[in-house]
Amino acid sequence: MGFFQTNLPYLLAGISTGGQYALIAIGYTMVYGILRLINFAHGDVFMCAALMVIYSASYLPLYVSVPVAIVATGILGFAIERVAYKPLRTAPRMSAMISAIGMSYLLQNLALYVTGGLTKYYPPIPYISDSIEIFGAMTKRVTVITPIVTVVLIIALVSIIKYTKIGIAMRAVSRDFETAQLMGVKINSVISATFVIGSLLAAVGSTLFFSNYTGVTPTVGGMPGLKAFVAAVFGGIGSIPGAVIGAFIIGICENLIKGLGWTTFSDAFTFVLLIIVLMFMPTGLFGEKTTDRV
Amino acid sequence: MDKTKKRDLIVSLGLIALIFVVVAVLEKVLPTTSMLFTVLKKGSIYALVAVSMNLLNGFTGLFSLGQAGFMLLGAYTYAILTIPVEARAAVYQYYDGGIVQFSVPVIVGILLAGVVAAFFAYLIGLPVLHLKSDYLAIATLGFAEIIRAIFQWDKLGGLTNGSNLLRKFPIFHSTLFPFAVSALCIGIIVMLINSTYGRAFKAIRDDEIAAEAMGINLAHHKRLAFTISSFFAGISGALLAMFQTTVQASQFKSAMTYEILLIVVIGGIGSITGSCISSFLFVASSEWWLRFLDNSETYIGSLHLGLLRPGFRKVVFSVIIMAIVLLYQRGIMGDKEFSLTRIRQRLSGLFKKKKVQ
């Protein structure tokens, strides 16, 4: 019980961070499933969403500025795909990845220019930023809300993918790009929809994340982005439930490690996990088995 | 033909010698604080690490993003081993003077920087090198991050000084030093690429399965390329430490690897001379030529440019990079080299056409 009591705050923080990583990881796993591209710019989209809330909140009330920023992030994701990845559809896979790295560099530098290199602080959102007490541990209400929001959004997303026309098209494209195209699936609109959905979820994730950790700098998206990607790999890239479970595991482990006083290694742990997963089960927890053909 | 090849080689060596003479003369003429020398020093260091990355990404087809980690290993090895014994108490002030109580000459330090980086690369390569393209990229990136975390760990403070700076190690003053070391290392890489090993690397890049069928030991050659590339990344890390005069683990972030990757892409993946040219261009434009964009007091005539303020330079710079990545995918040199033979052929072709007309 004593162990439980001392580690409870970290466990709670872990569940909450895990939910936030899950919302980012979905963007990675969906894009990878369809384009076989590690979208390095996704973490920076997450950062841009936070900056948009901060800047719009100085002109608009919060209940307007947060939805506006979320929609704007969706548009940003759409624009990034059109500008940086669509021209490279037929190029080697590595070109698209380099373009993603370039895009990430561009977004970070734009953010640096706009913020002037100063750390911006996320506005406290009434209700979800309030402090509450759970089993004697003080925390923000966002800690409790995050897992609920995550689960609701994921159920919504899974139903979209399962039952709507665009969802069926997405599954077809991720199964076989060329055949789907031959069957009359409009590849470009499917890919755009994927990027928009991924960015919207990242924007929601960023609202939850920065309600907890309020400082926003241009490079703040890099680490959560990489961790969410590791979560996606861990769960089996292309699989949405896998990404969510992977994200929760990473979020909880990372915070427990912080609780043990090994903060230096909380980031490194994620990569150790990544390497172990790649070594021993390269397809992750729920990934599809693939075979190489000559 | 052999004769002309030999002549071209001599002319190329002559050109390199000429560059050295020009740099030496410039050092005598210009004040040492000139931006030009900063660019030349940093450019030559980046050229070395870019070429070492190109050896992997461009010539062996292994997409690795661990370069910053190996540079960190090199920089720390050099710094730890060469800090003079009498300065150690001041540097390791929080760790009782550190546990290393000797120092080695500069050249030995640089060599060991490469050896340590290569040794770790060998160990890391054992598990990760059989991964495919983007998984390899993310795994090497992960290793670089793990290395960075280990070097910031305060339990190892007696060796690495924790997250504090390492300083007071010997540095260079003349631009010729990094030039000479880089030129020597790049020369060795060029010789390697032109050897049978280099041809095996290219075969692996073009088609792994075909290469294996031709009797090339894939695992051995990949490990070889990875280890050698890291050796030179380690050396460039040592040079970078000397250039900056201080070392701190937190600066070797993945952003650094991305910068080097962009240099390689701009120069052309698979072109050594391209990497060299683009690293000087990259450093010069990011540190020097685009500086005016950061100055909010820039006027064109009487027009005040409102957009210009600190940070705008980097935005312009990254837009240029994106334009190159998207529109000019082959980079400056493509996969070709700057070669006198081809220039002469091109020129003589021009003259011949003129004669016909």
| Three-state secondary structure of chain A | CHHHHHHHHHHHHHHHHHHHHHHHHHHHHHHHHHHCCCCCCHHHHHHHHHHHHHHHHCCCCHHHHHHHHHHHHHHHHHHHHHHHHHHHCCCCHHHHHHHHHHHHHHHHHHHHHHHCCCCEECCCCCCCCCEEEECCEEEEHHHHHHHHHHHHHHHHHHHHHHHCHHHHHHHHHHHCHHHHHHCCCCHHHHHHHHHHHHHHHHHHHHHHHHHHCCEECCCCCHHHHHHHHHHHHHHCCCCHHHHHHHHHHHHHHHHHHHHCCCHHHHHHHHHHHHHHHHHHCCCCCCCCCCCCCC
The answer to which of A224-233, A259-268, B138-147, B347-356 has the lowest mean pLDDT is B347-356
Residue B324: inside a domain: yes
Contact B326 A87 (CB under 8 A): yes
- pLDDT for position B255: 85
Average pLDDT over residues B121-133: 86
Residue B19: inside a domain: no
Residue B162: inside a domain: yes
> How many separate domains does chain B show?
1
Domain, as residue range, for B83? 31-356
* Minimal-distance CA residue of chain A relative to B329: A95
Determine contact: A219 vs chain B, CB below 8 A: yes
Q: What percent of chain A lies above the pLDDT cut of 70?
A: 96
Q: Distance between CA B95 and CA B158 in Å, rounded?
A: 5
pLDDT tens, B62-97? Answer: 888 999 999 999 999 999 999 888 888 888 888 877
Give A121 or B353, the one with higher predicted confidence: A121
Q: Distance between CA A243 and CA A154 in Å, rounded?
A: 11
The candidate with the shortest Cα–Cα distance to A57, out of A69, A70, A42, is A69
CA distance B351 to chain A (A): 37
- pLDDT for position B297: 63
Reading the block at residue A133, the tokens are 């007490």
User: Is residue B300's pLDDT more than 70?
Assistant: no
Reading the block at residue B3, the tokens are 């004769």
Residue B22: inside a domain: no
User: Is residue A294's pLDDT more than 50?
Assistant: no
Q: Per-residue confidence at A78, pLDDT binned at 50, 70, 90?
A: very high
pLDDT tens, B150-176? Answer: 888 878 878 888 878 888 888 888 888
- pLDDT for position A293: 47
Average pLDDT, chain A: 86
Longest dimension (CA), chain A: 61
Spell out which residues of chain B touch residue A270, defining contact as CB-CB under 8 Å.
142
Which of A83, A264, A279 lies closest to B149 in CB terms? Answer: A264
User: Is residue A77's pLDDT more than 80?
Assistant: yes
Reading the block at residue B179, the tokens are 């030039």
DSSP H/E element including B50? helix B35-54
* DSSP helix/strand/coil, B217: coil
Determine contact: B323 vs chain A, CB below 8 A: no
Place of tokens 């710094």: B79
A-B contacts (CB, under 8 Å): 115
Contact A38 B146 (CB under 8 A): no
Which of B146, B150, B314 lies closest to A112 in CB terms? Answer: B314
Residue B2: inside a domain: no
Residue B170: inside a domain: yes
- pLDDT for position A233: 86
Spell out which residues of chain B touch residue A87, defining contact as CB-CB under 8 Å.
326
Contact A106 B145 (CB under 8 A): no
Contact A271 B322 (CB under 8 A): no
Reading the block at residue B153, the tokens are 């760990």
Give A244 or B341, the one with higher predicted confidence: A244
User: Is residue B354's pLDDT more than 60?
Assistant: no
Q: Per-residue confidence at A45, pLDDT binned at 50, 70, 90?
A: very high
Residues in Cβ contact with B61 at an 8 Å cutoff, skipping those fewer than 6 apart:
B204, B205, B206, B208
Determine contact: A263 vs chain B, CB below 8 A: no
- pLDDT for position A132: 77
